[in-house]
Structure 1
Amino acid sequence: MAVAVSGRPGCVLQRTLSWTNTSRSHSESAKTCREPLFLLSIDRYGKDLGFGIFFPEAIHTSDSLYDATVSDGDCKLRVTIHPGLNPLVDKNELRCGCQLRNVTFSRVIGLDGRNEGDGCPTYRVMNLEVDLDAGFDAGLEAFCGIDIDALPWFGLEGDSRPSLLPLRARRSSYLPMWNNHDYYGDMWKYTAPIQPVANPASDSGEDTEDLQPTVTLREVRQAFLCRSRVVKGILIVRIIHKSRLFYYGKAERNCECPYKAMFEVADRSGQATVVLWNTLCMDWYRCVHPGSTLRLARYRVKESYNSRTGERPKDDIEISLNSRNPSADISLIPKSDVLPQWHLPHTPYTFSCAKEILTCPVGSTCDVIGLVVFVGRPERTRNKDSQGVELWEYRWLQLEDGTTEQPVMVKLFSTSQPEMHSNIHPMTILVCTNVQLMRVSPDRATSFQYLTNTSLTQVYSTGSGHHSTMPYRRLRPVRQFVQWVQTVDENQLLSRAVIGGFFTYPPLPVSLEKYMRDRNGEPGLVTGAELRREVEKLQYRESRTFAIQATVSAVSHVGSGECEEEGCSALSNWTGQLSSTSSTCSRVPLTHPSSPSSVTLSPRSPRLRARQGPFGCGQSAKRRLFHTAEPPRKRLALPLHSNQQTDLEEDADRDFSLWDASMEFLNKTEEADSDEGEDEEEDSGSASSFVTAASSPGSPRQCALGQARAASETVPRRFCPTRRLVQTAAVGLQPACLQEALPQRKLDTFAPADCYHGHYTLTLRALTDGGMVDALFLPGSPGNLHWRPYPHPHNNSWENTLTHGSFSPSAPPPSPSDLIAMATQLTSQRLVCVLEVCQLGSGRVEVVLSRAFPLKD
């Protein structure tokens, strides 16, 4: 049977993939495309039991598989990435927009059950190279002016499209690129699959008996506990709380839609937990929210999971809703059709203000509302409850409500609300429900508290439209907060609004003994070689904390906005002599001139320095799927037609004010009018001459872990309300498709925040094996609301500054030149250094020195 081929004559994919043998064998010889191709998108999904059939020779610990779309500019092709290339995707080295060469394809016919009927071939990419010389913006440049969606699909006729389902596993949807908790794809419905139930009172002449509740939650519970397993009846309940999605897919299970979600529901007789399973999650999860009223029939009653584990014995039963055995009957009742005789309880809220949180008991849950003043960059951490396999995405937020000078700190993990999370930026009003209070006490006199997720946490942000429909807007704490917002000086708030950059919380103790006690059984000190091995295991935006014994070999300071990516002359030409006139970027050796740290830098070109590897070692410009020092940039959901149109879309970001945000709490009509009436303004934040150093190492003396200058993602940015959509996307994670990608340098078009005054770089030498680390030091200082100084005063010596992680809160901090001049205090000083390490992607590693405790003899 002949295979249809789309594309113009001479199409690169057509020339490469024109197999002469049209037999329906399971596999055929591989072919390599020597001409450039571009990666347009990449999608992730979980393995299933068929993995060994598709990839019998592949052995890899990852539970993920990846499908990708590649194009030659004439047509596009859907392929599967061989699992042996997974680590390159995990580290964001193989990413959408990159240019590929020497792509080796193999064709498969008949193995995939989805394609057996039509005999359409599918392709696997067995090997490839990333053309680093082309840069990560190669795809954006190559497809400028091209409608990617209009490109024909190779192997399909006319307007035919490939399946939207994963190619190499029986899964009903793809997973988000960087976490397992969000929904992803068009198959997740936004509206209920069944029309809402009409008001029974208005359906005259019809039998409405089955639309009324015939049983209560109390009766269902009693029947189950009395061992009457068959429980019949119609339940009408109100959703009180909604959980995040739980993905339980495993490689050893063949479940096409391994999702579940939990809802705490109530009627007039009591409460219970409803569990939504599998494909019903795709149909209903996005449609129902706290406050929604549901009619349930054809459900099963089980002993609850919490009761079986003893976690919450009072939740003795759960109502299970599935698509089969039996097929659950679910209806969404409109708010206007809810009858008062049902006596459904209202959604409960327990709002606590910032002042009250200071005295709340640890572990208590509450709801908070606040004005966002800081939104951190997304990072990822390993979930210790799942054998260290799954990575959880989180970021830090700071909220203010006017009740105290201390902001409310929130460590916000994914809540299965991706659209809501993408809309969180400074100067928005944010509501977080069911968050739990955590408190850390580094010493007896000081404690730091923050809020974090529970499984029932939900967030609602200005601009999403939810505030105007939620019942909490009528509560007194919310009304009081909105009144305070309307009195806030917007200019004063905007001057300290920060987005992105490095941030860590809560502060560590100021004593080595306390720090070691608080590690809770985690591994202690690592050697230089162990640190390097562990860092190489980190995936994209994964952050971890390490401790290492070291001495300081050199100290330098880089001022804000004064060192371009090409390098600072004072640093690049350093010969071990401190210059009194170059405190912005100077370096002091703390060892003898013969030591590696005092070697004069070789006059290498800036281009070569920009292509050095993650540990400062020079590498070839083109190499097989490995590190590049160029910083990635993020996403904006815009069609790719031209650079001019992209710029116009960015400049079209609407004006924004706190008054508009507060109006969302009045009524929905006013909110819509306010949105329509916003005026466009010129982009006030685009003209910035600040360019952050990308990843140039401080010295090629030897391969040093880390970077001597801050990467673009390390620098916090001043919030720009007129470009908030672009800025929020630039701070975010690498997108999964080219249409959502931003140019590589987009983040650098935003000015650094006022709290950032440059950074120090300490070159550390491990005591165990001499391994070198370039660690950034970002000390807190008085008046800096972003990196606050530790509350204990001290004399601002190097030892005390490193021990506290900040300058003294009671005295002006020393100037960089004065502190550099005092660097000899660190000569031969043995330290236990606590390092915050984050894999920024594309081979770049950020190492930040959080604490350095002196070792006493």
Structure 2
Amino acid sequence: MTEDAQSWSSSMETGPSGESFLQKIFRRLSTTQCLKLGANEAAPVAVVSVQRYLSEQPEEGQPGSYSYDVTVTDGAFRAKCLLHATLNHLVHVNELRTGGDVTVTRWSLVYNERRLGRGYVCIEGVSCNEGASAVLARVSCVHALPRASCVHALPVLVARGVGPHGHAPLQLGRKHYLPLWNNDDPEGDIWSSGPPPSDTVLDVSRIALLSSLESSFRTSWKPLPLLVRIIHKSRLRYYGKFGLKIDFPYQAYYEVADQSGSMSMVLWNELCPDFYRRLDVGTVLLLQDYTLKQSYSHRSRPQMDHHRMKSFTSVEICLNPRKPASVITVVSPKKVQPDWGLPEVCYRFAAR
């Protein structure tokens, strides 16, 4: 245990042996021979968070099944555990939820046989308590701090022989979490809002216009940089499925424009966590090392008539994390020059 964890545990309510409830459970899991433990001396723990991601091993007949990591606290420590697949229905009906107390009746320690020193604690049996959490209320009272800040400051417990997991899912095949109730919203700290736009001097002496891209498609000529403004932003699209070997299967469509017209731009995979929150309507971009791809003819498109500009729909701009790695420069608003000829964003309002 770290010195920080020891200082926290000494200030919290503990049992006769000086250990908190979760400390005792994790110690017994680390020393037992069968790697399973029934909590004979069960005590309620509070649910700090419930996080969802695509399962590594889908349930039979359910190719799109999901796993849930549940972070619990006994008031002295936090611990992230995998919820056994047979208990997923408790999340679906909102019985097991953030802010409530649960009593875990069966624990297990699961080692990853493919990676040395990697594994996780699994919750195999649980009963949900009704009403507000008494454990979280006690944590807030002890520290006289806002409840959320106090809970997230608690040290994290990790079973002996199992490495720390950080912010990643417990099952090593996944790199990110999904929102609890849909797949279309960013979830977690990986979705960066990013640093402010750079004030560096940009070389825009040799740039290509969108109108020239259709003629250069399928040629060996390397496209010149593009200077464009975002005029429309789509919802995020998640296309993950079992067996897909992509860490961040995301896609986001934008409509970008310059003085010659507008065209679709697609942000792919790892670039979505880095840039999706940073690229909003009105943002000016300098794009380099992009690729061109033929547009899907049956894709739905936003209504752009009110912009009164030509729309190029035969090809679209693809920004990829590799092969080649696209270079995206967000231009500071005070660096945007009028002589660049970028169109202003137009809005359409519907009166009721």
Q: TM-score, normalised by structure 2?
A: 0.81
Instruction: Give the partner amino acid of 2:21.
Output: V
Q: Distance in 1 between matches of 2:287 and 2:194?
A: 17
CA contact (8 A) 2:29 2:108 kept: no
* Residue in 2 that maps onto 1:10: 19
Q: Does 1:43 align with 2:51?
A: yes
Determine which of 263, 272, 287 is the counterpart of 2:278: 287
Shift of 1:141: 3.0
* Residue in 2 that maps onto 1:348: 346
* Residue in 2 that maps onto 1:98: 100
* Residue in 2 that maps onto 1:143: 139
CA contact (8 A) 1:39 1:96 kept: yes
Q: Does 1:217 align with 2:210?
A: yes
* Residue in 2 that maps onto 1:130: 128
Q: Does 1:297 align with 2:288?
A: yes
SS at match of 2:313: coil
Shift of 1:346: 1.4
CA contact (8 A) 2:168 2:176 kept: yes
SS at match of 1:143: helix
Percent identity (aligned): 32
Shift of 1:321: 0.4
Q: Distance in 2 between matches of 1:100 and 1:66?
A: 15
Q: Does 1:168 align with 2:171?
A: yes
Q: Does 1:30 align with 2:36?
A: yes
* Residue in 2 that maps onto 1:249: 240
SS at match of 1:266: strand
Q: CA RMSD in A?
A: 3.0
SS at match of 2:27: coil
Alignment deviations for residues 717-748 of structure 1 (CA, whole Å, 9 cap, x no partner): xxxxxxxxxxxxxxxxxxxxxxxxxxxxxxxx
CA contact (8 A) 1:17 1:31 kept: no
CA contact (8 A) 1:28 1:108 kept: no
CA contact (8 A) 2:99 2:133 kept: yes
Unpaired runs of 5+ residues, structure 2, are 144-149, 302-310
Shift of 1:281: 1.0
* Residue in 2 that maps onto 1:381: none
Instruction: Give the partner amino acid of 2:292.
Output: V
Residues 21 and 43 (structure 1 numbering): CA distance in 2 closer, same or farther, change over 3 Å?
A: closer
CA contact (8 A) 1:3 1:120 kept: no
Instruction: Give the partner amino acid of 1:94.
Output: L
Alignment deviations for residues 155-213 of structure 1 (CA, whole Å, 9 cap, x no partner): 389xx9741011115333211222211112222111248x525344xxxxxxx4xx434
Instruction: Give the partner amino acid of 1:272.
Output: M
SS at match of 1:141: helix
Alignment of 1:201-600 (within 5 A): 208=203, 211-224=204-217, 227-228=218-219, 230-305=221-296, 307=297, 309=298, 315-354=313-352
SS at match of 2:89: helix
The structure, 1 or 2, with the larger RCO (C-alpha pairs under 8 Å, 6+ apart) is: 2
Residues 124 and 249 (structure 1 numbering): CA distance in 2 closer, same or farther, change over 3 Å?
A: same
Residues 247 and 154 (structure 1 numbering): CA distance in 2 closer, same or farther, change over 3 Å?
A: same
CA contact (8 A) 2:81 2:121 kept: yes
Q: Does 1:107 align with 2:109?
A: yes
From the CA coordinates, give the structure whose radius of gyration is larger. Answer: 1
CA contact (8 A) 1:46 1:171 kept: yes
| Alignment size in residue pairs | 321
Instruction: Give the partner amino acid of 2:44.
Output: P
Unpaired runs of 5+ residues, structure 1, are 53-57, 201-207, 355-857
CA contact (8 A) 1:166 1:173 kept: yes
Instruction: Give the partner amino acid of 1:39.
Output: V
CA contact (8 A) 1:106 1:126 kept: yes
Q: Distance in 1 between matches of 2:122 and 2:240?
A: 23
CA contact (8 A) 1:100 1:128 kept: yes
CA contact (8 A) 1:257 1:279 kept: yes
CA contact (8 A) 1:65 1:81 kept: yes
Q: Distance in 2 between matches of 1:128 and 1:216?
A: 61
SS at match of 1:182: coil
Shift of 1:125: 0.9
Q: Distance in 1 between matches of 2:57 and 2:2?
A: 26
Q: Distance in 2 between matches of 1:299 and 1:221?
A: 14
Shift of 1:142: 3.5
CA contact (8 A) 1:40 1:96 kept: yes
Q: Distance in 1 between matches of 2:267 and 2:291?
A: 11
Alignment deviations for residues 330-385 of structure 1 (CA, whole Å, 9 cap, x no partner): 1011122122222111112222322xxxxxxxxxxxxxxxxxxxxxxxxxxxxxxx
Q: TM-score, normalised by structure 1?
A: 0.35
Alignment of 1:179-190 (within 5 A): 179-190=182-193
Residues 350 and 102 (structure 1 numbering): CA distance in 2 closer, same or farther, change over 3 Å?
A: closer
SS at match of 1:15: helix
Alignment deviations for residues 794-843 of structure 1 (CA, whole Å, 9 cap, x no partner): xxxxxxxxxxxxxxxxxxxxxxxxxxxxxxxxxxxxxxxxxxxxxxxxxx
SS at match of 2:264: strand
CA contact (8 A) 1:51 1:169 kept: no
Q: Distance in 2 between matches of 1:255 and 1:123?
A: 26
